[in-house]
Chain A
Amino acid sequence: MASRYQRHLSLPGFTPRHQERLDAAHVLVVGAGGLGAPVLTYLAGAGVGELTVMDDDQIDETNLQRQVLFTVADIGRPKAVVAAERVQALNPDITVHPLTTRFSPTTQSQMSDDLNLVVDCSDNLPTRYLLESWALNADVPYVWAAIGQYAGRCSVVLPHVGACFECVYGPAERVAEWPNGAQGGVFGPVCGVVGALAAAEAIKVLTGLGQPLVGRMAMVDAWSGDLTQIVIHPDPYCRTCQDRHLTDLA
Protein backbone atom coordinates (compact mmCIF):
# COMPACT_ATOMS: atom_id res chain seq x y z
CA MET A 1 0.00 0.00 0.00
CA ALA A 2 1.72 3.13 -1.24
CA SER A 3 2.48 6.28 0.75
CA ARG A 4 -0.55 7.77 -1.01
CA TYR A 5 -2.65 6.53 1.92
CA GLN A 6 -0.31 7.61 4.71
CA ARG A 7 -2.81 10.16 6.05
CA HIS A 8 -5.43 7.41 6.33
CA LEU A 9 -3.01 5.13 8.17
CA SER A 10 -2.11 7.91 10.61
CA LEU A 11 -5.75 8.18 11.68
CA PRO A 12 -6.80 6.71 15.04
CA GLY A 13 -8.39 3.33 14.36
CA PHE A 14 -7.51 3.27 10.65
CA THR A 15 -5.22 0.29 9.95
CA PRO A 16 -3.77 -1.26 6.77
CA ARG A 17 -6.64 -3.74 6.98
CA HIS A 18 -9.14 -0.90 6.54
CA GLN A 19 -7.22 0.40 3.53
CA GLU A 20 -7.23 -3.12 2.06
CA ARG A 21 -11.00 -3.24 2.44
CA LEU A 22 -11.27 -0.05 0.39
CA ASP A 23 -8.91 -1.47 -2.21
CA ALA A 24 -11.01 -4.64 -2.49
CA ALA A 25 -14.31 -2.75 -2.80
CA HIS A 26 -16.45 -2.12 -5.89
CA VAL A 27 -18.77 0.88 -5.60
CA LEU A 28 -21.48 1.97 -8.04
CA VAL A 29 -22.06 5.73 -8.18
CA VAL A 30 -25.26 6.62 -10.04
CA GLY A 31 -25.18 10.24 -11.24
CA ALA A 32 -21.99 12.08 -12.17
CA GLY A 33 -23.35 15.59 -11.57
CA GLY A 34 -23.17 17.95 -8.62
CA LEU A 35 -23.16 15.20 -5.99
CA GLY A 36 -21.28 12.69 -8.10
CA ALA A 37 -18.29 15.04 -8.42
CA PRO A 38 -17.32 15.11 -4.73
CA VAL A 39 -18.40 11.51 -4.14
CA LEU A 40 -16.26 10.16 -6.99
CA THR A 41 -13.34 12.43 -6.13
CA TYR A 42 -13.19 11.36 -2.49
CA LEU A 43 -13.80 7.66 -3.19
CA ALA A 44 -11.07 7.61 -5.84
CA GLY A 45 -8.72 9.56 -3.60
CA ALA A 46 -9.45 7.20 -0.70
CA GLY A 47 -8.41 4.22 -2.83
CA VAL A 48 -11.71 2.44 -3.46
CA GLY A 49 -10.34 -0.20 -5.83
CA GLU A 50 -13.16 -0.29 -8.36
CA LEU A 51 -15.63 2.45 -9.23
CA THR A 52 -18.49 2.25 -11.72
CA VAL A 53 -19.83 5.66 -12.76
CA MET A 54 -23.28 5.69 -14.32
CA ASP A 55 -24.81 8.72 -16.08
CA ASP A 56 -26.55 9.04 -19.45
CA ASP A 57 -26.27 12.82 -19.65
CA GLN A 58 -23.88 15.14 -21.49
CA ILE A 59 -22.15 18.14 -19.98
CA ASP A 60 -23.69 21.53 -20.69
CA GLU A 61 -22.73 25.02 -19.66
CA THR A 62 -25.33 25.25 -16.86
CA ASN A 63 -23.67 22.27 -15.13
CA LEU A 64 -20.38 24.09 -14.56
CA GLN A 65 -21.78 26.21 -11.70
CA ARG A 66 -21.66 23.14 -9.41
CA GLN A 67 -20.35 20.05 -11.21
CA VAL A 68 -16.74 20.71 -10.34
CA LEU A 69 -15.14 17.77 -12.17
CA PHE A 70 -15.89 19.41 -15.53
CA THR A 71 -14.41 22.30 -17.52
CA VAL A 72 -15.54 24.42 -20.47
CA ALA A 73 -13.64 22.09 -22.82
CA ASP A 74 -15.86 19.18 -21.72
CA ILE A 75 -19.16 20.70 -22.89
CA GLY A 76 -21.05 18.16 -25.01
CA ARG A 77 -19.08 15.15 -23.75
CA PRO A 78 -20.67 12.32 -21.68
CA LYS A 79 -20.55 13.03 -17.95
CA ALA A 80 -19.72 9.42 -17.01
CA VAL A 81 -16.74 9.31 -19.40
CA VAL A 82 -15.28 12.66 -18.34
CA ALA A 83 -15.82 11.97 -14.62
CA ALA A 84 -14.12 8.58 -15.02
CA GLU A 85 -11.15 10.22 -16.79
CA ARG A 86 -10.74 12.82 -14.05
CA VAL A 87 -10.82 10.42 -11.11
CA GLN A 88 -8.67 7.89 -12.94
CA ALA A 89 -6.04 10.63 -13.32
CA LEU A 90 -6.37 11.37 -9.61
CA ASN A 91 -5.70 7.72 -8.74
CA PRO A 92 -4.17 5.51 -11.47
CA ASP A 93 -4.05 2.53 -9.07
CA ILE A 94 -7.83 2.00 -9.14
CA THR A 95 -10.16 0.78 -11.89
CA VAL A 96 -12.92 3.12 -13.10
CA HIS A 97 -15.71 2.01 -15.42
CA PRO A 98 -17.92 4.65 -17.08
CA LEU A 99 -21.45 3.62 -18.06
CA THR A 100 -23.29 6.09 -20.31
CA THR A 101 -26.71 4.59 -19.62
CA ARG A 102 -29.52 5.38 -17.23
CA PHE A 103 -30.29 3.08 -14.31
CA SER A 104 -33.47 1.33 -15.46
CA PRO A 105 -35.21 -2.04 -15.26
CA THR A 106 -33.24 -2.96 -18.40
CA THR A 107 -29.81 -1.80 -17.27
CA GLN A 108 -30.15 -3.02 -13.68
CA SER A 109 -29.99 -6.62 -14.87
CA GLN A 110 -26.60 -5.85 -16.46
CA MET A 111 -25.07 -4.58 -13.23
CA SER A 112 -22.05 -6.36 -11.81
CA ASP A 113 -22.92 -8.85 -9.06
CA ASP A 114 -19.80 -8.02 -7.02
CA LEU A 115 -20.92 -4.56 -5.87
CA ASN A 116 -20.17 -3.73 -2.23
CA LEU A 117 -22.03 -0.42 -2.05
CA VAL A 118 -24.20 1.95 -4.09
CA VAL A 119 -24.11 5.73 -3.77
CA ASP A 120 -27.23 7.42 -5.15
CA CYS A 121 -26.31 10.79 -6.64
CA SER A 122 -29.09 10.71 -9.23
CA ASP A 123 -31.30 13.68 -10.02
CA ASN A 124 -34.83 12.29 -10.08
CA LEU A 125 -37.28 10.38 -7.92
CA PRO A 126 -38.02 7.41 -10.24
CA THR A 127 -34.32 6.49 -10.45
CA ARG A 128 -33.96 6.78 -6.67
CA TYR A 129 -36.88 4.45 -5.92
CA LEU A 130 -35.72 1.92 -8.49
CA LEU A 131 -32.07 2.03 -7.41
CA GLU A 132 -32.84 1.77 -3.71
CA SER A 133 -35.18 -1.17 -4.16
CA TRP A 134 -32.69 -2.95 -6.41
CA ALA A 135 -29.71 -2.37 -4.08
CA LEU A 136 -31.51 -3.51 -0.93
CA ASN A 137 -32.95 -6.57 -2.66
CA ALA A 138 -29.39 -7.43 -3.76
CA ASP A 139 -28.18 -7.01 -0.14
CA VAL A 140 -26.00 -4.05 -1.14
CA PRO A 141 -25.70 -1.09 1.28
CA TYR A 142 -27.29 2.05 -0.15
CA VAL A 143 -26.02 5.56 0.62
CA TRP A 144 -28.22 8.33 -0.71
CA ALA A 145 -27.72 12.06 -0.99
CA ALA A 146 -30.14 14.60 -2.48
CA ILE A 147 -30.16 18.33 -3.01
CA GLY A 148 -32.85 20.94 -3.62
CA GLN A 149 -32.22 24.68 -3.75
CA TYR A 150 -30.26 25.62 -0.58
CA ALA A 151 -30.83 22.29 1.15
CA GLY A 152 -29.35 18.82 1.09
CA ARG A 153 -29.96 15.49 2.81
CA CYS A 154 -28.03 12.27 3.25
CA SER A 155 -28.64 8.91 4.90
CA VAL A 156 -27.39 5.32 4.87
CA VAL A 157 -29.56 2.23 4.44
CA LEU A 158 -28.04 -1.17 5.21
CA PRO A 159 -29.67 -4.26 3.68
CA HIS A 160 -31.44 -5.19 6.92
CA VAL A 161 -31.10 -2.10 9.09
CA GLY A 162 -32.48 1.40 8.99
CA ALA A 163 -35.29 3.42 7.44
CA CYS A 164 -34.98 3.84 3.68
CA PHE A 165 -35.69 6.66 1.21
CA GLU A 166 -39.25 5.38 0.65
CA CYS A 167 -39.77 5.19 4.44
CA VAL A 168 -39.18 8.94 4.56
CA TYR A 169 -41.07 10.06 1.47
CA GLY A 170 -43.76 7.43 0.93
CA PRO A 171 -44.78 5.42 -2.13
CA ALA A 172 -43.18 6.52 -5.40
CA GLU A 173 -46.41 7.22 -7.27
CA ARG A 174 -47.52 9.72 -4.61
CA VAL A 175 -44.32 11.76 -4.32
CA ALA A 176 -43.53 14.85 -6.36
CA GLU A 177 -40.50 17.06 -5.85
CA TRP A 178 -41.06 20.45 -4.30
CA PRO A 179 -39.99 22.55 -6.02
CA ASN A 180 -39.03 20.80 -9.23
CA GLY A 181 -35.23 20.38 -9.36
CA ALA A 182 -34.38 22.25 -12.55
CA GLN A 183 -36.91 25.03 -11.98
CA GLY A 184 -36.04 25.44 -8.33
CA GLY A 185 -32.32 25.97 -8.84
CA VAL A 186 -29.40 24.58 -6.87
CA PHE A 187 -26.98 26.43 -4.61
CA GLY A 188 -23.69 24.92 -5.83
CA PRO A 189 -21.74 24.45 -2.58
CA VAL A 190 -24.57 22.35 -1.09
CA CYS A 191 -23.54 19.64 -3.58
CA GLY A 192 -20.04 19.70 -2.11
CA VAL A 193 -21.19 19.55 1.50
CA VAL A 194 -23.69 16.74 1.02
CA GLY A 195 -21.59 14.86 -1.53
CA ALA A 196 -18.58 14.86 0.80
CA LEU A 197 -20.85 13.60 3.58
CA ALA A 198 -22.08 10.76 1.36
CA ALA A 199 -18.46 9.87 0.48
CA ALA A 200 -17.56 9.79 4.17
CA GLU A 201 -20.51 7.48 4.88
CA ALA A 202 -19.54 5.20 2.00
CA ILE A 203 -15.95 4.92 3.28
CA LYS A 204 -17.24 4.20 6.80
CA VAL A 205 -19.56 1.43 5.64
CA LEU A 206 -16.85 -0.15 3.46
CA THR A 207 -14.20 -0.10 6.19
CA GLY A 208 -16.47 -0.65 9.19
CA LEU A 209 -15.08 2.48 10.84
CA GLY A 210 -17.19 4.94 12.80
CA GLN A 211 -20.94 5.13 13.23
CA PRO A 212 -22.79 5.16 9.92
CA LEU A 213 -25.74 7.47 9.40
CA VAL A 214 -28.26 4.60 9.64
CA GLY A 215 -31.72 5.39 10.98
CA ARG A 216 -30.79 9.05 10.90
CA MET A 217 -30.98 11.66 8.16
CA ALA A 218 -28.44 14.47 8.03
CA MET A 219 -29.75 17.75 6.70
CA VAL A 220 -27.89 20.82 5.51
CA ASP A 221 -29.58 24.17 5.08
CA ALA A 222 -27.07 26.54 3.53
CA TRP A 223 -29.52 29.46 3.70
CA SER A 224 -29.60 29.45 7.51
CA GLY A 225 -26.28 27.63 7.96
CA ASP A 226 -28.08 24.95 9.98
CA LEU A 227 -26.66 21.45 10.09
CA THR A 228 -29.18 19.11 11.68
CA GLN A 229 -30.03 15.46 11.83
CA ILE A 230 -33.31 13.74 12.60
CA VAL A 231 -34.11 10.19 13.61
CA ILE A 232 -35.99 8.20 10.96
CA HIS A 233 -37.86 4.98 11.71
CA PRO A 234 -38.94 2.42 9.10
CA ASP A 235 -42.44 3.03 7.73
CA PRO A 236 -44.49 -0.10 8.49
CA TYR A 237 -46.27 0.38 5.14
CA CYS A 238 -43.06 0.81 3.09
CA ARG A 239 -43.05 -1.51 0.07
CA THR A 240 -39.28 -1.33 -0.38
CA CYS A 241 -38.86 -2.67 3.16
CA GLN A 242 -41.41 -5.49 2.93
CA ASP A 243 -38.78 -8.15 2.31
CA ARG A 244 -35.91 -6.61 4.23
CA HIS A 245 -36.36 -8.41 7.59
CA LEU A 246 -35.68 -5.07 9.19
CA THR A 247 -34.12 -4.12 12.43
CA ASP A 248 -35.05 -0.62 13.53
CA LEU A 249 -31.77 0.72 14.80
CA ALA A 250 -33.00 4.24 15.52
Chain B
Amino acid sequence: MTEAHIRYFAAARQALRRSEESLSGADSLADIVKRLSTRDPAIARLLSHCSFLVDGTRREPDHAPLPDGAVVDVLPPFAGG
Protein backbone atom coordinates (compact mmCIF):
# COMPACT_ATOMS: atom_id res chain seq x y z
CA MET B 1 0.00 0.00 0.00
CA THR B 2 1.45 3.35 -1.05
CA GLU B 3 1.74 6.23 1.34
CA ALA B 4 1.98 9.93 0.44
CA HIS B 5 3.19 12.71 2.66
CA ILE B 6 1.21 15.88 2.04
CA ARG B 7 2.41 19.37 3.00
CA TYR B 8 -0.07 22.25 3.06
CA PHE B 9 0.95 25.88 2.62
CA ALA B 10 -0.66 29.30 3.06
CA ALA B 11 -4.48 29.21 2.79
CA ALA B 12 -4.38 25.41 2.44
CA ARG B 13 -3.18 25.19 6.06
CA GLN B 14 -6.17 27.15 7.28
CA ALA B 15 -8.60 25.13 5.17
CA LEU B 16 -7.18 21.71 6.11
CA ARG B 17 -6.44 22.85 9.70
CA ARG B 18 -3.00 21.23 9.63
CA SER B 19 0.37 21.80 8.03
CA GLU B 20 0.96 18.20 6.91
CA GLU B 21 -0.39 14.68 7.01
CA SER B 22 0.27 11.24 5.59
CA LEU B 23 -2.35 9.41 3.52
CA SER B 24 -2.05 5.69 2.99
CA GLY B 25 -3.48 3.96 -0.06
CA ALA B 26 -2.96 7.14 -2.07
CA ASP B 27 -2.78 5.72 -5.58
CA SER B 28 -2.69 8.96 -7.55
CA LEU B 29 -2.87 12.71 -7.17
CA ALA B 30 -6.46 12.60 -8.44
CA ASP B 31 -7.24 10.10 -5.68
CA ILE B 32 -5.71 12.34 -3.00
CA VAL B 33 -7.61 15.42 -4.21
CA LYS B 34 -10.85 13.44 -4.31
CA ARG B 35 -10.39 12.12 -0.78
CA LEU B 36 -9.49 15.51 0.68
CA SER B 37 -12.34 17.21 -1.19
CA THR B 38 -14.96 15.03 0.48
CA ARG B 39 -14.01 16.51 3.87
CA ASP B 40 -15.54 19.93 3.19
CA PRO B 41 -16.87 21.84 0.16
CA ALA B 42 -14.52 24.74 1.06
CA ILE B 43 -11.57 22.35 0.80
CA ALA B 44 -12.81 21.14 -2.58
CA ARG B 45 -13.01 24.74 -3.84
CA LEU B 46 -9.55 25.55 -2.53
CA LEU B 47 -7.97 22.44 -4.07
CA SER B 48 -9.49 23.24 -7.45
CA HIS B 49 -7.27 26.35 -7.47
CA CYS B 50 -4.10 24.79 -6.05
CA SER B 51 -0.87 23.84 -7.69
CA PHE B 52 0.53 20.42 -6.70
CA LEU B 53 4.19 19.45 -6.64
CA VAL B 54 5.12 15.78 -6.39
CA ASP B 55 8.67 15.48 -5.09
CA GLY B 56 9.26 19.04 -6.28
CA THR B 57 7.82 18.77 -9.80
CA ARG B 58 4.41 20.18 -10.74
CA ARG B 59 1.79 17.60 -11.63
CA GLU B 60 -1.80 17.83 -12.76
CA PRO B 61 -4.12 15.91 -10.43
CA ASP B 62 -4.28 12.95 -12.81
CA HIS B 63 -4.53 9.19 -12.30
CA ALA B 64 -0.83 8.45 -12.82
CA PRO B 65 0.47 6.29 -9.96
CA LEU B 66 2.42 8.07 -7.24
CA PRO B 67 5.75 6.73 -6.06
CA ASP B 68 5.57 5.24 -2.57
CA GLY B 69 6.58 7.88 -0.04
CA ALA B 70 5.93 10.74 -2.46
CA VAL B 71 5.96 14.22 -0.94
CA VAL B 72 3.05 16.27 -2.26
CA ASP B 73 3.14 20.05 -1.79
CA VAL B 74 -0.22 21.83 -1.96
CA LEU B 75 0.28 25.44 -3.04
CA PRO B 76 -2.59 27.92 -3.33
CA PRO B 77 -1.47 30.45 -5.96
CA PHE B 78 -1.15 34.08 -4.94
CA ALA B 79 0.39 37.03 -6.73
CA GLY B 80 0.05 40.01 -4.39
CA GLY B 81 2.70 42.67 -4.27
Contacts and interface: CB of A to CB of B under 8 A. Distances in A.
Interface stretch (B21-29, B62-70, B73-81): B73-81
Contacts of A121: 81
Interface stretch (A18-26, A40-48, A230-238): A230-238
A60 interface: no
B57 A148 contact: no
Given A226-B19, A250-B56, A176 B49 contact: yes
Given A122-B79, A148-B80, A233 B10 contact: no
Contacts of B2: none
B16 interface: no
Q: Which of B58, B60, B73, B78 has the most CB of A within 10 A?
A: B78
A191 B30 CA distance: 34
Nearest to A181: B80
Given A149-B11, A151-B9, A219-B9, A123 B78 contact: no
Contacts of B46: 178
Given A168-B58, A230-B56, A146 B9 contact: no
Interface residues of A, number: 47
A237 to B, nearest CB: 8
A148 B76 contact: yes
Given A232-B53, A235-B57, A181 B79 contact: yes
Contact of A148 (B7, B10, B51): B10
* Residue from A33, A128, A231 with most neighbouring chain B CB atoms (10 Å): A231
Given A219-B9, A232-B56, A178 B79 contact: no
6 contacts: A168-B51, A169-B58, A178-B76, A219-B9, A230-B56, A232-B56
